[in-house]
Amino acid sequence: MELRIPRCFYAWTWQYLRDRRARVEFQSATSGERVYRAGLPQGSVLSPALFLLWAAPLAAELQKTPGTTAFLYADDTAALCSGNNIEVAKLRAQQAADVLVKWARASKMVVAGQKTQALVLSQWARDAVNCSVRVAGETVVAGDQLKLLGVTLDRLLHFGAHCRSLRQRVRPRTNQLRLLTGREWGLEERQLRIVASGYIRGALEHAAAAWLPAASPSHVMLLEREMREAARVVTGCPRSTPAHAVMAEAGLAPVAEQRTALAAPSRLETRCGRWRRARPPPASAP
């Protein structure tokens, strides 16, 4: 009711969650019925919506903490706490952790303190020394890296560790692509291009909009080399072929171009914001 959900949806959901029965059918055998006492079947279309409604109070409470921004994706919760100095940021991080634990206990959930991670984003390495927070009785010490939804964050947000991990992940895939290039039974170039775009480029550009524009050119070059290797496999060109020619022949855009394209919307938004601030207000009507 606090979220202003229509009463009809509330009543329908309440009736749906009551007295639910299920049975399993395998080949020609059918099990007996059992009553669902909690939870929903795996893959239920209603599960994500109910979870978001259930976790909405947590996001609201975290937003009340000064200098704290909450990020929730499914059952992963992250809090970005900032301050004028590291002591203020640590205090706010501890407050956010306490809010999380309090909400979890009220919601009959268990917070995995041993799985919680902390990272200090600062240009000064001394800020990360002896930095820790208490989460559900566990001491969480800030590390050099933090992995969130498949993206490895580092203290300076250069994403070097993330690019190196992507390179290690993609190299076996390139070797697997090479196994599909048999002269008599292998895939055609068009088919190899499709596999390279989805299987290799897809892995390199996972959540790229969140980190690729901020990655340094030297780290982007690590990914460029892997894409060039995939392009050589697709085209069969030798290593002496110029890089731009290999990429053009394979029909694969360089990673640097993708980086520029992903950065364009944020740059445009920044310029529009400056233009709005610099534009004089309209004259009042007579």
* Domains contained in the chain, number: 2
Same domain, 97 and 167: no
Is 70 exceeded by the pLDDT of residue 1?
no
Looking at the domain assignment, is residue 34 inside a domain?
no
Same domain, 139 and 157: no
Of the ranges 69-78, 137-146, 191-200, 267-276, which is most confident? 191-200
Residue 252 token pair: 């694969």
Looking at the domain assignment, is residue 286 inside a domain?
no
- 123 φ, ψ (degrees, to nearest 5): -80, -15
Domain of 165 in residue numbering reads as 153-268
Same domain, 160 and 257: yes
**Cα–Cα distance for residue pair 121/153, rounded to 1 Å:** 9
**Cα–Cα distance for residue pair 256/205, rounded to 1 Å:** 12
Same domain, 76 and 182: no
Same domain, 139 and 158: no
Same domain, 115 and 171: no
pLDDT in tens, 195-246: 998 999 899 888 888 888 888 889 989 999 999 999 999 988 888 889 889 8
Same domain, 174 and 127: no
Q: Are 217 and 273 in contact (CB under 8 A)?
A: no
Same domain, 137 and 235: no
**Cα–Cα distance for residue pair 233/225, rounded to 1 Å:** 13
Looking at the domain assignment, is residue 96 inside a domain?
yes
Domain stops at, among 102, 123, 143: 143
Domain stops at, among 117, 143, 169: 143
Query: Could you tell me the pTM of the whole model?
Result: 0.73
Same domain, 72 and 164: no
Same domain, 84 and 175: no
Same domain, 81 and 50: yes
- List the one residue out of 132, 87, 135 whose CA is nearest residue 115: 135
- List the one residue out of 187, 185, 183 whose CA is nearest residue 199: 187
Phi-psi region of 275 (alpha: psi -120 to 50; beta: other; left: phi over 0): alpha
Mean pLDDT over each residue of the chain, to the nearest integer: 84
Looking at the domain assignment, is residue 36 inside a domain?
no
Is 60 exceeded by the pLDDT of residue 7?
yes
**Cα–Cα distance for residue pair 79/44, rounded to 1 Å:** 28
Domain stops at, among 120, 143, 166: 143
pLDDT in tens, 91-120: 999 999 999 999 988 888 888 888 888 998
Same domain, 158 and 264: yes
Looking at the domain assignment, is residue 18 inside a domain?
no
Residue 188 token pair: 């055609």
